[in-house]
Amino acid sequence: MRDKLPPEPPGSEVTPEKLYLRRRELIKNAGLFAGTAAVVGGGLYLLGMKRTRPMDGFVPDAGAVAQPVAPAQGVFDTDEPRTPYEDITTYNNFYEFGLDKNDPARRAHALKTRPWTVVIDGEVHKPWTVDVDQLISAFPLEERVYRMRCVEAWSMVIPWLGLPLGKLLERVQPTSFAKYVAFTTLEDPEQMPGQKSPVLDWPYVEGLRLDEAQHPLTLLATGLYGKQLPPQNGAPLRLVVPWKYGFKGIKSIVRITLTREPPPTTWNLTNKREYGFFANVNPAVDHPRWSQASERRIGETSRRPTLPFNGYAEQVAGLYRGMDLKRDF
Amino acid sequence: MASSKLPWLNPAIAVGGLAPLLQLAVLGTQGELGANGIEFALNQTGLFALAVLIASLACTPVRLVTGWTWPARIRRTLGLLAFTYAAAHFLTYAVLDQGLDVRAMAEDVFTRPFITVGFTALMLLAPLAVTSTNKWVRRLGFPKWQRLHRLAYVAAVLGVVHFVWRVKKDVTEPVLYGAVLALLFAVRLGEALRKRRALARERPA
C-alpha cells in the first residue's frame, strides 16, 4: 500500500495548508477576542447602568416665566456663582421618583402639578384649603439666591423664586398653641413610582419649629432661575430652609399643619442616629459615617470648608441660643 | 478541553475590562460625567472593583461545578483587573475627592468604619497583586501562595461591607453582591467538606 503513494513534494513546495488553517484560526481568534472583550466591557457597562450619568436625565424646557418677579431682595442673597440650571435640574434627591440622582429628572416630568390643592390647617385661626395658583398669586414672589448644602456633603447656589413662609403663616393666623409646622408631600404611587418601594415611610413628612418657619430666610419656593419649578425640584411648591441640610426642604407639598408637638420627620424616622429633627448645617457635627467639615460645590473640583448654619449664622444662630447643637443636631 | 490554548481569552478580558476605566478617564477630563463627576467616578470604580473581584473568586467554584478548566486561566487577569479598579477608586478619592489632604484622609481611614474597611480591602489586595506572578508562586511554594491568596475572599467581604455602609438607605444592590459572594463561599466549603470526607475514607481508623 505504502509504495503506491506518490512521492511527497519537496518541503519548499508544500501548499501552505497550515498557513491557510492558521489564517482561519487567526480570524476565528480575532472574532472570539472581540466578542469576549465586548461581553466583558458590556457586562461592566450594564452593572454600572444603574448609575447612569446624571446628565443623561431630562433637562426640562425653560418653560414660561412664572409670575412677575420682585427683584432679588439683596440682604439674604449670596453673590457666589450660581450653579448651572442643568445641574440643578438633573442632580436631585427625590426618592419618590427613584434613588439615583438622575431618576427624578428622567421620571418626574409626568407629575401632574396642576390642578394642585394645598391644605393649611391645624392650630390656626383661619384654615385655608387653596389652589396652588391662587396661593402663589396671593403673595408677591421674591427671588432669593441661596446656598444649598446637602447632607451628602455637596452644595449648590440656587436662585429660587418664592414667597416667605412667614407671610403665609401670618395670613392663616397661628393660635397661641401652635409651636411647630408640619409639612406633607403628595402620596400617589401611580405618579410617584418610587413610593411603590418601601425605602422610606410614605408620604414624606418634614417639620420646623414655628420660629424657624417664621424666619424671613424660610421660603416656599415656586420657581428657580425665574422659571416655574420643574417637577424634579419639587413642583409646584417646596420648602427651602437654607441653613439646614437639603432633606429638610420637602418637595411637592400638599399639606401644611400647625401643631403643638414636634411633628415626625421622614429621615429622622428612618435613622434617628444619623438625621436629627433640626438638621442645621454644622461642620462640627459629623454624620456618623462621613465628615461634614467640608463639601463639594457642584461644578468645582476641590472641596471647600462647610460653614456653620451654611453661612447664615449671623441671621439664624440666635434661634438656637442655649441649645446644645451636638445633641440637638 | 477542546480548545487548549485560547490565546485570545486573557487579552480580551483585559481590554474589555479596562474599556470602562478608559471611558471614565476620557469623559472625566472633558467634564462629561455629570453634575458631580467625582462622585460618579468613585461609584463606578468602586462598583467595578467589587464586581470583578467577585468574578475572580467565582473562577474556582465555576470550575468545580461545571468541570470547565478555562475559568482557572482567567483568574489572575480578573484579580489584577479588580486591583486596578480598587486602586483607581482609591486614587479618585485621594487625589480628586480629598485633594491629597493627608489629615482629612487619615481621619477618614482611622475614624470612619466605612472607609476603614474599604481601605483595608485595598491593603489586602496590594500584596496579592504583587505576588500574582508565576515567579512568586514558585518563590512562596504553591500551598503557601494559595493560603495567602485566600485573602481575596476577606477583601471581597470587606468590599461588600464598605458598599453596605456607604449607601444612604437602600441596601438591595450591596446585599445582592453579598449573596453572590456567600454562594461562592458555600460551593468552596462544600468542596472542602467533600474532600475531607474522601480523605477520611481513604485512611480508615
Q: Indicate yes or no: CB of A37 within 8 angstroms of CB of B47.
A: no
Interacting residues of B65 by C-beta distance below 8 A, sequence separation 6+: B187
Helix (H) or strand (E) holding B76: helix B70-91
Q: Indicate yes or no: CB of A291 within 8 angstroms of CB of B40.
A: no
pLDDT in tens, A285-308: 999 889 999 999 999 988 999 999
Is the pLDDT confidence value at A108 over 70? yes
Domain extents in chain B: 9-202
* A166 band by pLDDT with thresholds 50, 70 and 90: very high
pLDDT in tens, A177-230: 999 999 999 999 999 999 999 999 999 999 999 999 999 999 999 999 999 999
Q: Indicate yes or no: CB of A33 within 8 angstroms of CB of B11.
A: yes
Residue of A nearest to B168 (CA): A152
* A7 band by pLDDT with thresholds 50, 70 and 90: confident
Find the mean pLDDT for residues A136-148. Answer: 95
List the one residue out of A231, A326, A234 whose CA is nearest residue A286.
A326
Q: How many CB pairs under 8 A join A and B?
A: 120
Q: Which residues of A belong to the annotated binding site for Mo-molybdopterin?
A: 92, 95-96, 150, 185, 233, 238, 249-251
What Rg value do the Cα atoms of chain B yield, rounded? Answer: 19
> What does DSSP say about strands A294-297 and A154-164: parallel, antiparallel, or unpaired?
parallel
Find the mean pLDDT for residues A261-269. Answer: 97
- The Cα A105–Cα A111 span in angstroms is 11
Is the pLDDT confidence value at B132 over 50? yes
List the one residue out of A23, A100, A199, A231 whose CA is nearest residue B43.
A100
**CATH assignment of A50-320, among 3.40.190.10, 3.40.50.720, 3.90.420.10, 3.40.50.2000:** 3.90.420.10
State the nearest Cα–Cα gap between A185 and chain B, in angstroms: 19
pLDDT in tens, B146-178: 999 999 999 999 999 999 998 878 888 999 999
DSSP A86-118: HHHHHS---GGG-SSTTHHHHHGGG---SS-EE
pLDDT in tens, B24-37: 999 999 988 989 99
| B16, B20, B35 member nearest A38 (Cβ) | B16
pLDDT at A3: 60
| Contact (Cβ atoms closer than 8 angstroms) between residue A161 and residue A257 | no
Phi and psi, residue A219, nearest 5°: -125, 145
Q: Read off the C-alpha cell for B188.
A: 468552596
| Residue predicted with more confidence, A161 or A54 | A161
| Residue predicted with more confidence, A24 or B15 | B15
Is the pLDDT confidence value at A269 over 90? yes
pLDDT at A258: 98
Q: In chain B, what residues touch A95 (CB-CB under 8 Å)?
A: 169
* A64 band by pLDDT with thresholds 50, 70 and 90: very low
Q: Which of A68-72, A105-109, A248-252, B109-113 is predicted most confidently? A: A248-252
- The Cα A104–Cα A101 span in angstroms is 7
pLDDT at B5: 75
CB contact A269 to B (< 8 Å): no
pLDDT at B204: 63
- Which of A105-119, B16-30, B189-203 has the least mean pLDDT? B189-203
* A21 band by pLDDT with thresholds 50, 70 and 90: confident
Residue A63: left (phi > 0), alpha (psi -120 to 50), or beta?
Answer: left
**Model pTM score:** 0.86
Sheet-wide strand order for A253-259:
A128-131, A117-122, A253-259, A180-185, A205-209
